[in-house]
Every structure is written in structure tokens, then in C-alpha cells.
């Protein structure tokens, strides 16, 4: 029997796993054109990957940090492979924080190793929890996006012009002209100060003002 806190831990673990799977699948399926959604999906994937690697393999740094050991059921943290520990540190330096490391480009990320490592950890949780594992679980939610890939008349998801590639942001064209905007190693496209399409890159690199709206669309915990 899980405690109320353990129920919450399992819910948030499932959310991280669901979003990691969803962003990974979207990154594989969308065309490889330049688009800010590409940056957002990739950076989201990396942040979720970092959270899960820490949960399964690092000792808590703060008193309120959760790890897999908080679920009890004989679950213990595992040693993180050296390649993934390096990957986690790269995310810290290139995505989560503004550091000089962003001056050094990243050519690729070990996504296959990340997926395999985390799949093993998730299956270990399922095995150890047994009948205490909730069904359905948010971690098993489908990974298709009706927002980015709307369902067409045939019932299949249709590709849109939204784009992504296997590594960092691409170098998109500015409007219809030949100007290329250099991309940072992982972060937002460096602003050119020119009008791109119908918006303008501001000093923060964001594309025009961000309208206020609803917060996270995270499903409610049952």
C-alpha cells in the first residue's frame, strides 16, 4: 500500500516519463525545418531527462528532493553510466543555466542511451511496486499531440510545418531573405533585430511578446 506522499511521487514521476516519451516521439516525427517549437521540444526533452536521471541515480541535494528510494518497495538508486552523467552536466550548463559552456557547440545527445537507461528504471519500478502500481498510470499516456499534429479526415495524424532535428536548434532563414540567424548551442535563436515573418525578435531572443494564458495543461492527479 502506497502512502499519500508516495502516490504523489509516482504521479509526478509518471508525468516526467510521459513528457520525456512525448517530446522524444515528436522530435522524431516532425519535419526538420527551422521553428522555435523545435527549440522548445528539445529543451523540454532535455530537462525531463535530467530530472529523471537525477531521480534514479543522484543523492538528494535538498531536504525536499524526491528520489526513487522514497517509494520504498526495495527500490534503490542505481549508478548512472558515465556517458549519462556527462549528459546531465551538459544539460545543466547548456540549458538550465546561463554559462560560458554555451559557447561550445553540442553536436549530438546520447538519446538512445538515455531511453534505454530510463526504460530499465521505469520497468524496475513497475516490478517492485507490483499491485501497488496504479492502472492506468500517467506515465503510460499516449504521446501524440493533437495540437502539433492534428488528426486529419482519414483519422491519421497529419504532419505540419512545425520542425525539429536530432540535435540543437537549426539556423532558420529570416523571413524569405537569405539572412541566417546563428543558433546557440541549445538555447533560443540569437536575435537578429530584423523582422522575421510577422514578429520581431526582442532583446531576450523571444519572438515578440508572450501573451498571458493558462498555466500547465498537466492532467490532474487522481
Q: What is the pLDDT of residues 9-23, one digit of tens each?
A: 999 999 999 999 999
Note the pTM of the prediction, 2 decimals: 0.69
Running DSSP on this structure, what letter comes out for residue 40? H
Say yes or no to pLDDT of 152 above 80: no
Task: Give every CB contact of residue 88 below 8 A, 6+ residues apart in sequence.
Answer: 49, 50, 53, 54, 80
Other CB atoms within a 10 A radius of the CB of residue 145 amount to 18
- Distance of alpha carbon 187 from alpha carbon 125, whole angstroms: 33
* pLDDT recorded at residue 153: 54
Q: Which residue has the higher pLDDT, 135 or 202?
A: 135
Under DSSP, is residue 54 helix (H, G, I), strand (E, B) or coil? helix
All residues at 6 or more sequence positions from 5 whose CB lies less than 8 Å from its CB, including other chains? 70
Q: Which of 55-64, 122-131, 179-188 has the lowest mean pLDDT?
A: 179-188
pLDDT at 37: 86
| SS3 of residue 95 by DSSP | helix
**pLDDT tens for each residue of 43-97:** 999 999 999 999 999 999 899 999 999 999 999 999 999 999 999 999 999 999 9
Q: Is 128 exposed, middle or buried (0-12, 13-18, 19+ CB in 10 A)?
A: middle
What's the mean per-residue pLDDT of the chain? 75
In this predicted structure, the answer to whether residue 109 has a pLDDT above a threshold of 50 is: yes
Burial of residue 23 (CB within 10 Å: 0-12, 13-18, 19+) is buried
pLDDT (mean) for 162-179: 35
Rounded to an integer, what distance in angstroms lies between the CA atom of residue 209 and that of residue 47?
A: 24
Amino acid at each position: 500500500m502506497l502512502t499519500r506522499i508516495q502516490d504523489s511521487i509516482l504521479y509526478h514521476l509518471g508525468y516526467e516519463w510521459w513528457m520525456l516519451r512525448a517530446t522524444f516521439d515528436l522530435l522524431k516525427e516532425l519535419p526538420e525545418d527551422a521553428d522555435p517549437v523545435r527549440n522548445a521540444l528539445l529543451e523540454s526533452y532535455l530537462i525531463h531527462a535530467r530530472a529523471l536521471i537525477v531521480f534514479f541515480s543522484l543523492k538528494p541535494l535538498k531536504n525536499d528532493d524526491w528520489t526513487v528510494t522514497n517509494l520504498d518497495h526495495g527500490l534503490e538508486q542505481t549508478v548512472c553510466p558515465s556517458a549519462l552523467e556527462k549528459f546531465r552536466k551538459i544539460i545543466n550548463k547548456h540549458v538550465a543555466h546561463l554559462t560560458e559552456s554555451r559557447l561550445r557547440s553540442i553536436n549530438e545527445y546520447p538519446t538512445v542511451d538515455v531511453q534505454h537507461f530510463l526504460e530499465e528504471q521505469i520497468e524496475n519500478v513497475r516490478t517492485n511496486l507490483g499491485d501497488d502500481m496504479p492502472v492506468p498510470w500517467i506515465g503510460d499516456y499516449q504521446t501524440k499531440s493533437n495540437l502539433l499534429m492534428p488528426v486529419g479526415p482519414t483519422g491519421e495524424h497529419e504532419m505540419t510545418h512545425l520542425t525539429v532535428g536530432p540535435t540543437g536548434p537549426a539556423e532558420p532563414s529570416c523571413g524569405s531573405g537569405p539572412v541566417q540567424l546563428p543558433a546557440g548551442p541549445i538555447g533560443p535563436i540569437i536575435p537578429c533585430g530584423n523582422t522575421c515573418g510577422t514578429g520581431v525578435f526582442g532583446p531576450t531572443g523571444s519572438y515578440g511578446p508572450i501573451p498571458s494564458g493558462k498555466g500547465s495543461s498537466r492532467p490532474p492527479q487522481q
